[in-house]
């Protein structure tokens, strides 16, 4: 079977895999000027260069640094690589993102881009997905830590608030035992 990820690197042996969404989870990007962007990325679309204005979610740098110390980090976005790659080149200042997956790695299910974690080549009992879009993890709700969509609230603390929980989750044998029972998700009523 051809997996989306390379085999686990020696430094990540024994670590769980944390799959992070990009847009509205870690950053918010816009093609129109926003006041005080954290950075601006030129992106070529249809042979024309557009500036993308990127705002980083509050606490994201500390979050990424800490998560990179305890997890194998994958950014899995439904965005196109021609946009997301240059954003990640600047965003990943701690060099903790080991793998980048883009729209072409998503599964189109009923008009939604779904991130099929079973294609990663990792033991699903050791994979966590953090995403603001429940449709993205519809195949793997027992692996999901839902987060709210973030656009520009400077007082948001959700990523920082999640650090202790994710630190604890890194130590359990099977993340699905915990997540399936403790995280109220969009499908918990079923």
* Catalytic hit among 6, 12, 21, 123: 21
53-97, pLDDT tens digit by residue? 999 999 999 999 999 999 999 999 999 999 999 999 999 999 999
Catalytic residue, chosen from 6, 12, 23, 38, is: 23
Decide if 126 contacts 16 (C-beta within 8 A): yes
Give the start-to-end residue ranges of the domains of the chain. Answer: 17-28+57-182
Beta strands in the chain (DSSP E): 16-20, 27-30, 39-45, 48-56, 71-76, 97-101, 107-109, 112-114, 127-131, 144-146
Residue 166 has pLDDT above 70, yes or no: yes
% of the chain at pLDDT higher than 70: 95
Known catalytic residue at 21? yes
pLDDT over 80 at 134, yes or no: yes
pLDDT for 187 beyond 50:
no
Residues of the chain with pLDDT > 90, as a percent, come to 91
What's residue 190's pLDDT?
Answer: 32
pLDDT tens string 13-33: 999 999 999 999 999 999 999
CATH code for the part of the protein at 17-28+57-182:
3.40.50.1000
Residue 16 burial (C-beta neighbours within 10 Å; 0-12, 13-18, 19+):
buried
**pTM for this structure?**
0.93
List for the chain the helix, strand, coil content (%; round to 5).
Answer: 30, 25, 40
Residue 12 bears catalytic tag = no
Average pLDDT over residues 153-169: 98
Question: Residue 1: which pLDDT band, with cuts at 50, 70 and 90?
Answer: confident
């Amino acid at each position: 079977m051809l997996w989306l990820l390379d085999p686990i690197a020696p430094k990540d042996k024994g670590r769980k895999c944390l799959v992070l969404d990009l847009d509205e989870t870690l950053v918010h990007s816009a093609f129109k000027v926003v006041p005080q962007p954290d950075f601006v990325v030129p992106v070529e679309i249809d042979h024309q260069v557009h500036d993308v204005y990127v705002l980083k979610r509050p606490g994201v740098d500390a979050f990424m640094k800490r998560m990179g110390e305890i997890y194998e980090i994958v950014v899995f976005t439904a965005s196109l690589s021609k946009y997301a790659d240059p954003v990640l080149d600047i965003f990943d200042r701690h060099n903790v993102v080991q793998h980048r997956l883009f729209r072409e790695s998503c599964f189109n299910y009923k008009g939604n881009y779904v991130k099929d974690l079973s294609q990663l080549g990792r033991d699903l009992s050791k994979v966590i997905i953090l995403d603001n879009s429940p449709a993205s993890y519809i195949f793997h709700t027992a692996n999901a830590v839902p987060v709210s969509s973030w656009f520009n609230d400077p007082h948001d603390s959700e990523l920082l608030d999640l650090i202790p929980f994710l630190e604890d989750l890194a130590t359990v044998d099977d993340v699905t035992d915990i997540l399936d029972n403790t995280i109220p998700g969009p499908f918990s009523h079923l």
